[in-house]
Amino acid sequence: MCGPGLEMLEIMMEDNNLTKKQKEELEKLQKEIVDEAKKVVENYVDNPSNISGSTISIHQNSPFLDTDENNEPRHSGSRWTKVIKTKI
């Protein structure tokens, strides 16, 4: 088991001051958390994200999106091939 939340549940379950009913409730919650985490992992395996973990944001008024009189980008190069300026 991993994660601070689950570690806290384990510590609480070791507490001798808890009633049997409280320990059973904690075990039920722990199982629900683990089951939900497994579903998240399975979903990610079946539907991997297209995001690499980092994103780049460029404001809509950025000069990097400007075009010249021929509607060609003022800034070019391989770093800018994915940048698109949409007109509203």
SS3 category, 55 = coil
At 35 the pLDDT is 92
31 sits in which H/E element: helix 20-46
Phi, psi (rounded to 5 degrees) for 86: -105, 145
At 38 the pLDDT is 92
- Per-residue pLDDT of 4-35, as tens digits, reads 666 777 777 677 788 889 888 888 988 998 89
33 sits in which H/E element: helix 20-46
Q: Has this prediction a pTM greater than 0.85?
A: no
Who has greater pLDDT, 56 or 81? 56
Question: Within 10 Å of residue 55's Cβ, how many Cβ atoms?
Answer: 6
